Amino acid sequence: MTTTNPPADDAVAAAAELVGAIRAHPGRPHVVLKYAQTLDGRIAATGGDAKWISCERERVISHAVRARCDAVLVGSGTVASDDPKLNVRLVEGRSPLRVVLDSALRTSCDAQVLGGGPPTVLVTTARAATRDRQRVRRAGAEVWEVPAGPDGVDLPAALAALRDAGVGALMVEGGARVLTSMLRAGLVDRVVTGIAPRILGAGVEAIGDLHNRRVADGIPLRRACVQVVEDDVLVAYDVGAGGPA
């Protein structure tokens, strides 16, 4: 386990340590899950409010993590509730390709993720109507169709399309449904979690049901990296990797 307290002006180095080594895969990108939660595992309050769980310094490091990846991915629910820009603003660096999983193509053309800046791709299925495909393309985004999956979009097919497009490292920022689906499908290489010094009680869980009925069935996480950022704690692990925990 490595533990550090990064200097206030060294977000890029902190992000490099949290992301770790990029693994090469023939059929998908290296996938890094990144999310912020309260100490009791909530990524939003009961009403959906999530601003801001993490401290400002933690958010700077999150932008540095984005800048290390070729693409950043969220679900359409996150776009509807949080309206993120998904670009790199708080550090120097290149903004990644923005990817939204939207099986029915319901994303509003007013969404900031469709605004100026880095390119945006909406990954959808045959459920998407022709008029919605045209609407999204007029707004400036690309539309990719992949087969449908149990949670909306077939995730292996979506990741294969990103890999074919040259995406080597993918940052997945949520929401809870996407985080859970990625873990359930075994498509995650690295988990980076910001833990904020706050307890909500009821709220939106970061990770939903993974269908594990015994503790021993849980996903193993290894080679811990811990960073203290003000009163927040950032932890990162390799997922399912061999070697000592």
Strands 97-101 and 30-38: unpaired
- Separation CA 59–CA 35 (nearest Å): 10
pLDDT at 242 (0 to 100): 44
What pTM was estimated for this model as a whole?
0.91
What is the token pair recorded at 71?
């693409």
Single-letter residue type at 58: E
Which regions in the chain score pLDDT beneath 50?
242-245
| Structure confidence by residue, pLDDT tens digits, 52-111 | 888 989 999 999 999 999 999 999 999 998 899 999 999 988 999 999 999 999 999 999
The dihedral sign for the CA sequence 208, 209, 215, 217: negative
Q: Is the peptide bond before 175 cis (omega within 30 degrees of 0)?
A: yes
Domain ranges of the chain: 2-46+64-198+220-239
| Structure confidence by residue, pLDDT tens digits, 37-49 | 999 989 888 877 7
Nearest to residue 49, comparing CAs of 232, 234, 203? 203
From 3.40.50.720, 3.40.1190.20, 1.20.140.10, 3.40.430.10, which CATH number describes the 2-46+64-198+220-239 domain?
3.40.430.10
Place of tokens 């985080």: 179
- Separation CA 10–CA 32 (nearest Å): 20
pLDDT at 244 (0 to 100): 40
